């Protein structure tokens, strides 16, 4: 019903995370109502994104290299590190494995964790069809092997998908003989005992202090 060029953009926006066709249509009409300069700003921001952003050669976190480091620039920048990985104050004996970029951000905001990260790039079951080959498991093993890392924190969601990934990684990393931990379960802020599931409540008793 929409004209073809609107339909096409609706289809593209519908693939964005959390976006359905109805919201995608609202995005298109929003764009139609923008000034030319605003559209140009969006186009520029999208098109320069991939140029400006690199993935950290250690943790795969997207980062924007400072200009100085560009000048020094070692060709393709293959060994460039993000701000966290290049920070000498971060504890190199700790490695926190997360599913995705936003999980890293969330953990950083707590200022609780002072080690380094590793972004796995997904979970086991989401990638079922194509096996687990899209997870950065080889890179993870390589980072851990013969390193100064002493503890690997598998900071995965306590969801079925996260659990499956956690078990998979535990098997994979076991031969490397490092301490492997997982995040503590318990009652979250604001919870009520009465509505807590048994596993969560049991963990809350185990972790009492």
Q: What burial letters (b/e) apply to 153-182, b meaning 16+ CB within 10 Å? A: bbbbbeeebbbbbbebbeebbeeeebebeb
Residues 38-97 that bind a copy of itself (CB under 8 A): 39, 41-43, 45-50, 52-53, 62-64
Is 129 a binder of a copy of itself (CB under 8 A)?
no
- Find the shortest distance in angstroms from Cβ 126 to a copy of itself: 13
- Find the shortest distance in angstroms from Cβ 171 to a copy of itself: 18
* Alpha-carbon span 34 to 38, nearest angstrom: 6
User: What DSSP element (H or E) covers 116?
Assistant: strand 115-119
Q: Helix or strand or coil: residue 44?
A: helix
Site string for a copy of itself, 152-171 (x = CB under 8 A): -x-xxxxx------------
**Which residue, 43 or 72, has its beta carbon nearer to a copy of itself?**
43
* Alpha-carbon span 41 to 45, nearest angstrom: 6
Q: Which of 57, 126, 141, 186 binds a copy of itself (CB under 8 A)?
A: 186
- Find the shortest distance in angstroms from Cβ 131 to a copy of itself: 18
What is the sign, positive or negative, of the torsion defined by CA atoms of 188, 194, 195, 200? positive
* Alpha-carbon span 23 to 13, nearest angstrom: 8
- Find the shortest distance in angstroms from Cβ 79 to a copy of itself: 18
**Which residue, 30 or 146, has its beta carbon nearer to a copy of itself?**
30
**Which residue, 76 or 146, has its beta carbon nearer to a copy of itself?**
76
Q: Which of 95, 103, 124, 169 binds a copy of itself (CB under 8 A)?
A: 103
Is 199 a binder of a copy of itself (CB under 8 A)?
yes
Residues 11-30 that bind a copy of itself (CB under 8 A): 12, 16-18, 22-23, 25-30
* Alpha-carbon span 173 to 165, nearest angstrom: 12
Q: Which of 72, 73, 105, 174 binds a copy of itself (CB under 8 A)?
A: 105
Q: Helix or strand or coil: residue 95?
A: strand
* Alpha-carbon span 83 to 113, nearest angstrom: 15
């Amino acid at each position: 019903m929409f004209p073809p060029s609107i339909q096409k953009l609706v289809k593209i926006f519908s693939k964005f995370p959390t976006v359905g066709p109805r919201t995608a249509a609202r995005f298109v009409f929003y764009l139609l109502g923008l000034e030319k300069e605003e559209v140009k700003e969006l186009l520029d921001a999208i098109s320069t994104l991939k140029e400006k952003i690199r993935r950290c050669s250690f943790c795969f976190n997207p980062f924007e290299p400072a200009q100085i480091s560009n000048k020094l620039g070692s060709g393709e920048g293959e060994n460039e590190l993000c701000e966290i990985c290049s920070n000498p104050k971060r504890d190199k004996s700790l490695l926190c494995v997360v599913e995705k970029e936003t999980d890293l951000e969330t953990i950083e905001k707590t200022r609780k964790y002072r080690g380094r990260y590793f972004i796995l790039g997904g979970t086991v079951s989401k990638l079922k069809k194509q096996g687990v080959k899209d997870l950065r498991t080889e890179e993870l093993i390589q980072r851990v092997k013969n390193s100064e890392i002493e503890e690997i924190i598998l900071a995965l969601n306590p969801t079925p998908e996260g659990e499956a990934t956690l078990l998979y990684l535990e098997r994979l990393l076991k031969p490397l003989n490092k301490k492997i931990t997982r995040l503590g379960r318990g009652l979250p802020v604001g919870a009520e005992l009465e509505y807590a599931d048994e596993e969560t409540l049991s963990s809350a008793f185990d972790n009492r202090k």
